Amino acid sequence: MILVAIGANLPNAEGASALETCRRAAAALDALPGLTLKALSRWYETDPVPPSGQPPYINGVALLAGPAPDPAALLIALQGIENAFGRVREAPNAARTLDLDIVAIGGLVRLAPDPIVPHPRAHLRAFVLVPLADVAPDWVHPILGQTASALQAALPASGVRPMPGRG
């Protein structure tokens, strides 16, 4: 099980909305060699973290199946997708056209080098855990030993609003 967080809060260069970019990014994940999109959470509108005056984000989580990829190779593939959608890396927590983060690769624990797996802050972020619980409520954080549902229940879900429809 490979879990990838998807987020955006700016239109892309062609003017597609953040929601449309996230939908297209999910399709791009499904096209990664050797991986298949098995489940996609609902989309959520979320407040920026930390609060910054940016537009709200659209967030979701994709569950991919296939042989466990090398984390560094997967990160390169995800950054290639981000770049194709006009991602510019100006400053940490800046507004963006697309953000793809590796949340987990099975039960892998990798503390260095980058990417760190599981994502070092995913368990602290409702905008990751709420959609993650949509697709993998029984996923167990390999370091904390808690399920996605338990981790989500420990956080306030404020600032995370489901969008109408699905996918």
User: Which two structure tokens, joined as six digits, stand for 143?
Assistant: 């370091």
Q: How open is the CA angle 61-161-39, to the nearest 5 degrees?
A: 25
Catalytic residue among 23, 30, 70, 96: 96
Catalytic residue among 23, 99, 125, 134: 99
Closest CA to 45 of 34, 33, 57: 57
Range with the poorest average pLDDT among 19-28, 120-129, 149-158: 149-158
Residue-number span of the structural domain to which 158 is assigned: 2-162
Q: Which residues pair with 3 in a beta bridge?
A: 63, 104
User: What's the number of domains the chain is made of?
Assistant: 1
Let me know if residue 64 belongs to a domain.
Answer: yes
pLDDT score recorded for residue 166: 58
Average pLDDT, integer, range 61-66: 98
96 is catalytic: yes
Let me know if residue 34 belongs to a domain.
Answer: yes
Let me know if residue 167 belongs to a domain.
Answer: no
Let me know if residue 128 belongs to a domain.
Answer: yes
Look up residue 86 and give its DSSP letter: T
167 pLDDT exceeds 60?
Answer: no
7 pLDDT exceeds 90?
Answer: yes
Kindly indicate the confidence band of residue 143, based on its pLDDT and cuts at 50, 70 and 90: very high
Q: What is the pTM of this model?
A: 0.94
DSSP string, 125-164: -HHHHHHHHHH-TT-B-TTT--BHHHHHHTS--TTEEEPS
pLDDT score recorded for residue 89: 76
Which domain CATH number covers 110? 3.30.70.560
Kindly indicate the confidence band of residue 68, based on its pLDDT and cuts at 50, 70 and 90: very high
Helix (H, G, I), strand (E, B) or coil at 40: strand
Catalytic residue among 87, 114, 134, 138: 87
138 is catalytic: no
pLDDT digits (tens, 9 = 90+) for 42-51: 999 998 877 7
Average pLDDT, integer, range 140-161: 90
Treating both helix axes as pointing N-terminal to C-terminal, what angle do 18-30 and 71-84 enclose, rounded to 10 degrees? 140
Let me know if residue 17 belongs to a domain.
Answer: yes
Q: Do 152 and 140 form a contact (C-beta atoms < 8 A)?
A: no
Mean pLDDT (the chain) is: 92
